[in-house]
């Protein structure tokens, strides 16, 4: 199970990478393996400002659809449009080319409240 130490994590299995006041968000390796083959990623909240824990989109796998929850409050400034044509990238490279959105944080200190890699490993029993 790949759980990069430099990222932060949520109980809902999203990962967060902070760069300045912008966070990049995707789902974890654990989440994509639990979902199975991902066939569609939907994000219709670009340019919206949402609170933490609000739904920003959904990911559809062969057997299920799962909501995606925003880990920090802010404005969604970008969606990874490459996922429209190749949603399976989330399966093959969840921490790289499979990222989902970028968010301009309302308060970057919110990231500090997320789980470390070790805390996330404990959550999933890795």
β-partners of residue 67 are: 58
Give, as one character, the DSSP assignment of residue 92. H
Measured between its terminal Cα atoms, the distance across the chain in Å is 7
* Spatial separation of the C-alpha atoms in residues 68 and 66, rounded to whole Å: 7
* Spatial separation of the C-alpha atoms in residues 3 and 53, rounded to whole Å: 22
Q: What is the pLDDT of residues 49-107, one digit of tens each?
A: 999 999 999 999 998 999 999 999 999 999 999 999 999 999 999 999 999 999 999 99
What global pTM score does this model have? 0.96
Contact 38, 93 (CB under 8 A): no
Q: Is the pLDDT of residue 1 over 90?
A: no
Please state, for a pLDDT cut of 90, what percent of the chain lies above it: 98
* Spatial separation of the C-alpha atoms in residues 37 and 112, rounded to whole Å: 32
């Amino acid at each position: 199970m790949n759980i990069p130490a430099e990222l932060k994590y949520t109980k809902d299995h999203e990962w967060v990478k902070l760069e300045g006041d912008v966070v990049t968000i995707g789902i974890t390796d654990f989440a994509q393996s639990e979902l199975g083959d991902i066939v569609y990623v939907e994000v219709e909240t670009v340019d919206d400002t949402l609170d933490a824990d609000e739904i920003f989109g959904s990911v559809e796998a062969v057997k299920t659809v799962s909501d995606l929850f925003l880990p920090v409050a802010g404005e969604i400034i970008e969606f990874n449009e490459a996922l429209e044509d190749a949603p399976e990238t989330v399966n093959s490279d969840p921490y790289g080319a499979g990222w989902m959105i970028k968010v301009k944080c309302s308060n970057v200190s919110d990231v500090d409240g997320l789980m470390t890699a070790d805390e996330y490993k404990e959550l999933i029993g890795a």
